[in-house]
């Protein structure tokens, strides 16, 4: 790459304007695309602020304006079941994310940095288990969890989630580890660092974006899942947020769907994810650029 270095000055000699104009143009395209993509989210939030009768009208209300009401939210959280479901969901998701990242990180290092007996079988097994359709598995999963007395428990459902998510995270992390040349680490070792030191100082920071991306993935899987939760968490007191939301929609449907409340509860389920994203956002986006491998 060194041979290219002199040419990097080149753009400075060219007139700046066409480049800037092009950037602005692309930014405009990006913003339009962004607005289209976020519309369903906007629609959910804006509907959650409207009374149901306005929502049932045939003419959509695009801006809540004067009709804005927080009554939907107050009604939804009134019985407290939201908060117990929130607690369940947060606990399960945290366990799943932490365990997945640790297990997958170790395994990804093993398969991309080492040759060992059984490596191929492991790689194949990881690939295969994630391909099994989950819809037929629930009886077996139930029997297994029930047999160890972990029904309706955070641990029981977490074990199944981790097993379901870990293959994907191994794959993602493996891609990121593969993107970091082992030579970097070796060069550092030549400079006198021990292997763990070299790993911690060189490889790990470069892997951070990959860990964040895999963590986000594990987070969303654990947060959203409801078909396994449905059979493993049968008790009302151990509901997760997706179950709570589903129950809310179904109960509402058996009388008359109160769309305002449904949208408010949907928003409430999404908010923790948004908060989580805001926390890791720096790592996810601009952080990625900083951590990128510059040849």
Partner 1 sequence: MTTVQASPAERDTAPATPPTQRSSKVPHALILPAVIILLIGMGYPLIWQIVTSTQKFGLSSQFSGVAPFVGIDNYVTLFTDPVIWAVVGRSLLFCIVTAAITVIWGGLFALLMKAAGKVGRLILQICLLLAWSMPVVAAMTVWIWLFDYRRGVVNYLLNMLPGVEMDRYNWLDTPGTFFLVASIIVVWMSVPFVAFSLYAGLTQVSDEVMEAAQLDGSNGWQRVRFIILPMIRPVLMIVLLLQLIWDLRVFAQIQMLQDAGSGAGEFDLLGTYIYKLGTGGGDFGMASAVSIFVLAITIAISWYYVRSLLKEDEN
Partner 2 sequence: MKKKLGALALITASALALTSCAGNGGGASQLPDSDPESKNITLWLMGPDTPDTLREYLTDEYKKATGGKLTIEQQDWGDVVAKLTTSLPDEKNTPDVVEIGNTQSPTFTTAGAFTDLTDMYDELGGENLLQSFVEAGAVDGKNYALPYYFGSRYNFYRKDIWAAQGKTVPTTLEEFNATVAELRTDDMSGFYLGGSDWRNAISWVFANGGELAVQKDGEWESTLSDPKTIEGLTQFQELFKNASNAPATEYDSAPWVNLNNNDATGKPEAATIIAPGWAHWSIGDPVTVKDPETGEDKPGAEWNDETFGTFVLPGVDGGAAPVFAGGSNIAISAASTKQEAAKELMRIIFSPEYQKMLGESGMGPANMEYTDSLGDDQFAQALVESAANSKLTPAAPGWSAIEGKKILEEFYGKIAAGGDVIELAKEYDAKITPLLNSN
3-class SS string, 98-156: HHHHHHHHHHHHHHHHCCCCCHHHHHHHHHHHCCCCHHHCHHHHHHHHHHCCCCCCHHH
Q: CA 124 to CA 283: how far, in whole Å?
A: 31
Site for partner 1 in 103-122 (CB under 8 A): 103-104, 106-107, 109-120, 122
Binding of residue 199 to partner 1 (CB under 8 A) = no
Residue 155 binds partner 1, judged by CB under 8 A: no
Contacts with 269 (C-beta within 8 Å, 6 or more apart), sequence order: 241, 242, 244, 245
Tell me the window of 64-72, 77-85, 196-204, 273-281 that interacts with partner 1 (CB under 8 A): 273-281
| Cα gap 97→102, rounded to integer Å | 9
Q: Which is nearer to partner 1, 22 or 74 (CB)?
A: 22
| Interactions with partner 1, residue window 66-95 (CB under 8 A) | none
Query: Judged by CB under 8 A, which stretch of 29-37, 67-75, 79-87, 197-205 contacts partner 1?
Result: 29-37
Which of residues 74 and 120 has its CB atom nearest to partner 2 in the complex?
74
Query: Which of partner 1, partner 2, none sits in contact with 50, Cβ below 5 to 8 A by type?
Result: none
- Distance, C-alpha 66 to centroid of its chain: 35
Contact footprint for partner 2 (CB under 8 A): 51-54, 56-59, 71, 74-75, 78-79, 138-139, 142-144, 146-151, 230-231, 234-236, 246-247, 250-251, 253-258
Residues 202-231, interacting with partner 1 (CB under 8 A):
209-210, 213, 217, 220, 223-224, 226-227
CB-CB contact of 215 with 97 (8 Å): yes
Rounded Cα distance, 36 and 271, in Å: 20
């Amino acid at each position: 790459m060194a041979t290219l270095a002199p040419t990097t000055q080149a753009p400075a000699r060219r007139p700046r304007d066409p480049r800037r104009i092009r950037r602005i143009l692309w930014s405009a395209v990006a913003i339009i695309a962004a607005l289209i993509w976020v519309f369903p989210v906007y629609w959910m939030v804006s509907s959650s602020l409207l009374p149901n009768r306005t929502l049932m009208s045939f003419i959509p209300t695009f801006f809540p304006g004067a009709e804005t009401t927080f009554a939907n939210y107050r009604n939804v959280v009134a019985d407290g079941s939201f908060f117990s479901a929130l607690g369940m969901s947060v606990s399960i998701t945290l366990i799943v994310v932490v365990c997945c990242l640790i297990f997958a990180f170790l395994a990804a290092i093993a398969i991309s940095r080492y040759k060992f007996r059984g490596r191929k079988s492991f790689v194949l097994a990881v690939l295969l288990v994630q391909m099994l359709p989950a819809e037929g598995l629930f009886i077996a999963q139930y029997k297994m969890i029930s047999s160890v007395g972990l029904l309706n428990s955070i641990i029981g459902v977490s074990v199944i989630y981790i097993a379901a998510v870990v293959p994907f995270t191994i794959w993602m992390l493996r891609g990121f580890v593969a993107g970091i040349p082992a030579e970097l680490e070796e060069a550092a070792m030549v400079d006198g660092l021990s292997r763990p030191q070299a790993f911690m100082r060189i490889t790990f920071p470069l892997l951070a974006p990959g860990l964040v991306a895999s963590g986000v993935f594990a987070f969303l899987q654990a947060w959203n899942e409801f078909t396994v939760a449905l059979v493993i968490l049968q008790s009302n007191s151990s509901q997760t947020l997706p179950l709570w939301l589903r129950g809310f929609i179904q109960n509402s449907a058996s009388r008359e769907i109160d769309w305002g409340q449904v949208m408010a509860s949907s928003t409430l389920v999404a908010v923790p994810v948004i908060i989580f994203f805001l926390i890791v956002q720096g790592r996810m986006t601009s952080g990625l650029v900083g951590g990128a491998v510059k040849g």
